[in-house]
Each structure stands twice: as C-alpha cells, then as structure tokens.
Amino acid sequence: MNHFSPQRSLGRSIYPAIISNKKGPCIFRYSYFGFNSAKLSRPQSNLNLWVLIFLLVFLLAAPFLFSASPLFSPRPSPVNSPEKSFWYVIKIGEKPVGYAHEHSKEALAAKGSITMTTEELKLVIRRLGANVEMASLSEWEETKQGELIRVSLVLKLSSLETKTQAEVAEKEIIVRSTAGGKEFTQRLPFSGQLVGPESLNRLTLSRLRSAGEEIDFLTYSPELNQVVHGKRKAEGREEISLPGFTQPIKTIKITETIQELPTKRVLWVDERGRLVQYLEPSPLGELKVYLSTEEAALAAARGQAETQIDFESSLIRANVRLPSARSIEGIKLQIKFREGEVTLPSFPSPYQKVITVDKNALTLSMERPKKPEKSALSSYSRKAKNNPEIREYLLSNAYLNIDDPLIQKVVREVTQETSNNWEKALRLRDWVSQNIVFDAGIVFAPSNEVIRQRRGTCVSFAVLLATLARAAGIPARFILGYAYVNGVWGGHAWTELYLAGAWLPFDAALPSPDIADAARVAVVAASLNRGLGETVVAGQRFFSQVEMEILEYRLDGKSFVASPKIYEISGNKYQNYGLKIVANKPDSFSFAETDKVWPDNTLLVLKADKAEIRLRQHAWRPVNNWEKYLRQLAGSAYSRLKLETFVYKGKMAYKLIGKNQAVAFFLRGTDLWEISAQGPEAANLLEEAFQAIHFED
C-alpha cells in the first residue's frame, strides 16, 4: 500500500574497456505569542522527527500528505479529544527544501488511554541535475504513564517504501522490517525505561526551567533501528522572531546531544514544550527547521525541484590529479579535521592502516589487496559458512533480499559456467556495472527495486552487488567511504566480498579490472541486517568534517611523491604534474577551463575565435560493445560518422571525423582519454591537437 497520497563482455581486459563519464561518487527549539490560531494544549517537542531529518539529509548529501493505513493490529480507537497539529518549514543553507508536520491525539487501547503521535516529512531537492524526493511517516503510541508501546516508520527514499514496525516487550524490542513485500524480524535487547514523544515533552517542561538544568533520556529510534541515549540542557531564555508571526516568541534555548550521533543540535522551545526552531550542521549546510503555518510549510516542498543544493561543496578537492586512479596500488593520505577533534571511524578494512594520529589530523595508508591463490579460495569458502561472524554477511534482509526470484535468476545466468568464487565475484561485478544506469534522483533503494528499475547512485550499485554475491554464497558487506575520481574525493559506496579469508573491495560503480583500487578510504562497513542506522551514525561522525591531502601514491610498481602544484601555466605551456601531461598551445589559442573536476571530466580547453580543442579524462569500466560505447560517449552528433582506428603511442586508438567536429579516444593505463576538436576543418584541428598535447611515458 502506498502511504504517500497526492493529497498531501563480461570481459575484464583493459583493451577494450572504459568507464562512463556518468559514473562517479554518489560520483550524506516560554510564553507563546502571535500565532493566529485556536489555542492548543500539550504540544510536542519531538526528538525523533529531527533524527529522521538528520538521516534523510545525510543520505542525500505538488505537496504530498500521507494517507496512512494501520501498521499495527488492533488499531487504537480515538477518543473525543482535540488533535494537536504543528507545521514546520525545513531549510538547508537558507534554501527551503521541504516540510515537517507533527500531530498527536489521545486514543483507547488494551492498556487504556494512550497518546498517539504522528510525524510526517517531505524533502524535495535537485541534486546533480536530478529531482530527489524523500518522504516518511512515523507513528508513536505510549501510555499515560510514559511507557512506550509501539513505533512504526514508513520511509520512501526511492519508488518503493520500506517499513519498520517495532513493539516494545519486556527487555526487548521486536522489530519487523518490510521491503518489496517480504518481512524480516529482529529482537533488540535493552534495559531501562524507553520514553516516547509525549513523555520526553513532559520531562522537558518539568525539569528544564532554568539555565544549567539537564535531563537524560532513553528512547527507540526507528530511523536508526536502535535504542539511543539522549541529553538535553537548558541554556537560557531567548525571544525568537519567525516569518508569519506578529510578535517574537518567548522560548528557552536547549542544547541536545545523542550519544549515538556526532552532532549537537540547538532547540528553542516555548512554555508548552512546543518546538519553535531547530538548528544543526549538516554535510550540505546548516539545517534549519522552524514553526510555520500549514500553507507556508507545504509551499516549501511544492515545486522545490527548482532548489538546487550545492552538492559539489561537499566534495574534497584533491591536491593531485591522479593518473589511472582505478589502478592505484597504494596511497598515503593526510586527513585534516576541519573543526577541532573529529570522532574517528574504525577504518574497518584490512587494506588500510592508520600510521599517525593526533587531535588535528591523521595519516592513513591504503594498499590494494593482491588476488588470492586459487587453493585459498575454495578452502576459505567452506570455512566462512561455518564462522558465525562471517555468516551474518550471508543473510537476507530488507535491503539485500537474496530470496528475490529475479536476484536468483541473474546469479544463475551469470555464474552458471563456474564454481570459482573469484570468477563469480568478477562476473557479478561486471554485470552490475554494465546493467545499472547512474541516476542521482534515487537516495537509497533496496535490491529488489534496483534489479528491476536498473538505475541509482553508487549506493544502488553497491547494494545490488552485495545482494547478488550473498545469493551466490559469497559473504558480502556494504562499504561507505570516500573515493577519488577526476580531481576530487567524494562520498562513495562499494562492496567488500569475503574471499580466501579476507575482505576484498569490489566496486561496480567505479570498477577496476579486478580488485578495486587503493584510491579510496573505507569509513563504514555494514551488513545492513539492522537497516541504515549503523551506516549513517558512523558515517556522519566523519563525512564533511575533513580535508584530504595526497602525500604519495604507487602505480605500476613505481612510487610518486605529490607535487606542490597540480598544474602550472607558463606562457604557451601547460603542465600537469600528476598526469604527466604537457600542452603547448599555438599563439592564436588560449588556455581555459583548467580547474574543472568531477562531475565535469574536462581537464583542459584550448580556445580560439572559431575553434576549440577539449581534453577529457574518463576512467575504466567493462564494456561488451566498444563501438557502441564510444558513440554513446561522443554524443548524438557523431552517430552517423564512421569509427576509424589508428595507432597512438603503439596502441590502438579510435576517432570519429566530421566536417566541423572530430573526436578521438585512446587508453592510457585505465584512463580513457578523449580529445575533441570543434571548428572549420576539424580533422586538421584534431591532428594539431595531438601535436600540441603530449603524454609523458
């Protein structure tokens, strides 16, 4: 049921094989005056709505309202009590991106009179040219004594909904997760008393009256699927002025921290406990939520596909333009903390090592693992299935559904000719890389949606590969971290597979000829058996809080120290030190667009009045049809031109020549280079481009 109503060549040889320029990192509060409405009683200042906003904003980096069906049976019967309803505008970096709506009502249930709180949320933004919509509906039931009974969450991060239903029993929470029609059950032990929104509201009202007063609380977060420990501290009284209010609102300012989350949020709450305003840092800019009218709140989400969030500001510019990044064998980085001390992740992968660390920075080295011996592959495959710690990564869950008939069908077809797990891993990686299309409009989709829709960000590539691998009997885990691509470090997801007694990286969105390259930092490793919580919590402690500097790297057995400059222009000469490229322009041309980075693959442009030469850097990916792929990369303007071959630096190269446009492609390591020429006599201009641009050996 839809809870969101409109009312509201398996070949892996380097030649031929290329990467698409479309692939990349996915390339993460006392007196009440001035509101023109009837007086309402006992409003909420609910923590969990803001945890949900935190989750959705992290997963990013015409109004929908909710026509909710019962998630629990039997449904409590409403009693004759007024419903309390509050609307909020959500902004990121001062840009309106959506709304939140919270309402509560008393009802009768088996345990007597209870309070039911419903929280609705919608975010609408534009990311990398694609519209992104995220919506959620959560419901809370608690007794008059403050005992939490049930919690439900319907989350829509793609075209399918995922549902979480949690019932609080004695010393454990029974959690049922559903995606694609299949249900998965977990039991989460806990100790202490869990509070719901109404109970937390009463605690806030009764104990946070003066500056310095504090409360501690324990609650269940369906967004994180875990019990969380919180603290609120009164900082003092302030008056807040908000759009649409005729007078300032008297509030008490509160700082709130959650032990399991890294950030400190600031709330402004009025004398009835109602949230007035909320501020928190996010990877995309300051997150601001403030009290508003229904009309203004809905308008914040209506038509906000025009709101373009600056996701590129969350990318980290590299100090070196790496050659053949998908073949980097080793790399050493200095990671600097932007604002004081940062909570370090566990860096879970065995191929990376912390060398030094202090309160301001750490030095980290990554090594590309070697291909395991064939004898080790078979013996460790049997041992893995008997290891309880590894067996967890063979389980089916709401996001990685290995029992899906289509998943099983693809596994059979792709792996039917081999029993070797190494070969299975590469075939499955190649299949995902070749069959999934990059789509920035999808936030986080379960595998049963990805394999049918065949589109998504790097998260979808990683989720699907992990699911296919588990279905093939190979332990797999989801990795979230940073990867290098064309001048930047960006948030990225890939997969690790357990082969020959070790976790080895495989990346379907940024593929390498076999094991994934070392130009990446693994921050979070997760089974996803308990949902997205562990991934978000660990990732947010690190993402968007660091700068990264390449100190040295190793390629083809040779070590290179990072140059102090990325490139240099002197007169008619351009020199890129990392890529080892020199361009000597004619006097009639000028250098342009020398600082482009992903998602623009342009490295350099030579411009004249009526002519242009452009150099682009693409990367490796497995393709079956070389000619079809090059035509796709060149664009529709070249669709009718003949693909010609020629030899460049002793290797096969390709070109498409027209009257006023020409383009050539050639491989250098695992980089696919494109040189295009626009202008009269384009063929001659392309020849001049090859004379002007030199790749050093």
What is the reported pLDDT for 134? Answer: 84
Q: Quick check: helix, strand or coil at residue 304?
A: helix
Higher pLDDT, 111 or 13: 111
Pull the structure tokens for residue 501.
């007694």
Buried b vs exposed e over 339-357: b needs ≥16 C-beta within 10 Å? eeebeebebbbebbeeeee
pLDDT at 359 > cutoff 70: yes
pLDDT at 624 > cutoff 70: yes
Question: How many angstroms separate the CA atoms of 265 and 214, rounded?
Answer: 15
Average pLDDT over every residue of 519-539: 82
Tell which phi-psi region holds residue 506, choosing left (phi > 0), alpha (psi between -120 and 50) or beta: beta
Question: How many angstroms separate the CA atoms of 200 and 218, rounded?
Answer: 9
Q: Quick check: helix, strand or coil at residue 683?
A: helix
Q: Alpha-carbon torsion 77, 121, 401, 130, what sign? A: positive
What is the reported pLDDT for 150? Answer: 92
Average pLDDT over every residue of 334-352: 76
Average pLDDT over every residue of 623-642: 90
Question: How many angstroms separate the CA atoms of 394 and 387, rounded?
Answer: 11
pLDDT at 303 > cutoff 80: no
What is the reported pLDDT for 342? Answer: 60
Average pLDDT score over the chain: 83
Rg value, the chain, Cα? 27
CA 451 vs CA 106, 154, 177, 496: distances in Å: 43, 22, 20, 19
Confidence of residue 282 (pLDDT cuts 50, 70, 90): confident
Q: What residue has token string 């793609």? A: 158
pLDDT at 133 > cutoff 70: yes
What is the reported pLDDT for 537? Answer: 66
% of the chain exceeding 90 in pLDDT:
50
What is the reported pLDDT for 340? Answer: 59
User: What are 33-81's pLDDT values in tens digits?
Assistant: 232 333 333 444 455 555 555 555 555 552 222 222 233 334 444 444 4
pLDDT at 29 > cutoff 50: no
What is the reported pLDDT for 424? Answer: 95
Which residue in 214, 443, 407, 405 sits closest to 309, CA to CA? 443
Alpha carbon 696 to its chain centroid, in Å, reads: 37
pLDDT at 308 > cutoff 70: no
Q: What angle do CA 383, 389, 391 make, to 5 degrees?
A: 60
The answer to whether residues 255 and 39 touch, using CB atoms and an 8 Å cutoff, is no
Following DSSP, what letter does each residue of 387-442 receive, concatenated?
-HHHHGGG---SSS-TT-HHHHHHHHHHHTT---HHHHHHHHHHHHHHH-EE-TT-
What is the reported pLDDT for 445? Answer: 86
What is the reported pLDDT for 19? Answer: 36
Identity of the residue numbered 37: S
Length of the chain: 697
User: What are 450-460's pLDDT values in tens digits?
Assistant: 999 999 889 99
What is the reported pLDDT for 165? Answer: 93
What is the reported pLDDT for 82? Answer: 53
7 φ/ψ angles, rounded to the nearest 5 degrees: -65, -90
Helices 421-435 and 458-471: crossing angle in degrees, nearest 10, is 150
Average pLDDT over every residue of 526-546: 75
Long-range contact set of residues 631-637: C-beta below 8 Å, sequence gap at least 24: 631/656, 633/18, 633/20, 633/21, 633/665, 633/674, 634/663, 634/665, 634/674, 634/676, 637/661
Task: Tell me which of 106-120, 162-176, 488-502 is least confident.
Answer: 106-120
What is the reported pLDDT for 242? Answer: 92
pLDDT at 264 > cutoff 50: yes
Confidence of residue 311 (pLDDT cuts 50, 70, 90): low
Domains of the chain in sequence order: 44-68+83-311 (no CATH), 325-561 (3.10.620.30), 567-695 (3.40.1000.10)
Q: Quick check: helix, strand or coil at residue 562?
A: coil
User: What are 684-693's pLDDT values in tens digits?
Assistant: 999 999 999 9
pLDDT at 197 > cutoff 90: no
Task: Tell me which of 159-173, 212-226, 380-394 is least confident.
Answer: 380-394
CA 602 vs CA 574, 621, 637, 691: distances in Å: 15, 18, 19, 19
pLDDT at 27 > cutoff 60: no
What is the reported pLDDT for 9? Answer: 33
Question: How many angstroms separate the CA atoms of 599 and 487, rounded?
Answer: 10
Confidence of residue 631 (pLDDT cuts 50, 70, 90): very high
What is the reported pLDDT for 224? Answer: 82
* Residue ranges in 279-420 assigned as alpha helix (H): 294-301, 374-385, 388-391, 405-415
Question: How many angstroms separate the CA atoms of 516 and 508, rounded?
Answer: 9
Average pLDDT over every residue of 395-417: 94
